[in-house]
Homo-oligomer: A and B are copies of this chain.
Amino acid sequence: MTGTIIIAGLGPGADDMITPEVRNAINSATDIIGYIPYVARIAPRAGLSLHPSDNTEELDRAAHAFELAANGHRVVIVSSGDPGVFAMAAAVFEVLETASEAYKAIDIQVLPGITAMLAAAAACGAPLGHDFCCINLSDNLKPFSLIEKRVSLALEGDFAMAFYNPRSKSRPHGFEKILALLQARTSPDQLIIFARAVSTKAQEITITSIAEAQPDMADMRTVVIVGAKATRTIETPDRRYIFTPRSSPSQ
């Protein structure tokens, strides 16, 4: 009997942001596949095999899922956030594209999750309340020039932006260049948000101006949100909110 593959989003970190749909899929699974820290979020139980693997092994991980499902297993591949946003869903379809007919008979479902940029936005207000772009700053799978081009175009259109994977130990300089591009092209008080480990105990949110932003404010656990021109803050006695109004004047 053929098994199934479900690619499920665990949300950004908090257990109470995992949808019941995803929770049910995990409870019915025989096998959980994913990057080590995401599989670590799944409670072990009898009848469930956990298969943690290292980062950058997306295609191997997808191939493993097909192999298990072809043997009748109910496989759940877990991603942080939403599996369709710079995560495992696209990798699974890349493997499916050239797979055998046997693998093509396996039912694949993608279950959405709360993606990091939306959890980060909610944690500080509504900075993505108007049109926005979502850009992966990793140049592992695309030329850096394309990232620069997209950021430039987004600035030209006055989109807010969310940056995933802004900076890692192996890629320390890309974000420096992008920040320099933002500093050269925006007014000094345009706002930027560094949201780290959103919805976990380690959550840290920094709202600052693009002029004052420093490259080391971002790491791999950070999602960066760049405000549009109209993005602004509100101070209350207890908090500081940031939002982008719904309306945009004529340009």
Report A's interface with B, CB cutoff 8 A.
Answer: 11, 14-21, 24, 58, 82-86, 89-94, 96-97, 104-105, 107-108, 110-115, 118-119, 121-123, 125-136, 141-143, 145-146, 149-150, 153-154, 156-157, 159, 232, 234, 236-239, 241, 243-251
Contact = CB atoms under 8 A, between A and B. Distances in A.
Contact of A121 (B21, B104, B112, B248): B112
A14 B21 contact: yes
B90 A234 contact: no
Contacts of A237: 104-105
A108 B112 CA distance: 26
B14 A118 contact: no
Would you list the 6 A-B pairs with minimal beta carbon distance, nearest first?
A: A90-B129, A89-B126, A141-B247, A93-B243, A142-B248, A110-B122
Contacts of A241: 93, 96, 108
A90 B236 contact: no
Given A133-B131, A133-B132, A236-B104, A122 B84 contact: yes
19 contacts: A17-B112, A84-B129, A86-B129, A89-B122, A90-B130, A90-B245, A91-B246, A93-B243, A96-B236, A105-B236, A107-B238, A110-B125, A110-B126, A112-B119, A112-B121, A141-B246, A146-B248, A150-B157, A150-B159
Contacts of A18: 19-20
A238 B107 CA distance: 8
Contact of A234 (B97, B112, B157): B97
Nearest to A109: B122
Given A86-B246, A89-B126, A131 B121 contact: no
Contacts of A234: 93, 96-97, 104
A251 B153 CA distance: 15
A189 to B, nearest CB: 17
Contact of A125 (B82, B93, B128, B248): B93
B19 A84 contact: no
A187 to B, nearest CB: 19
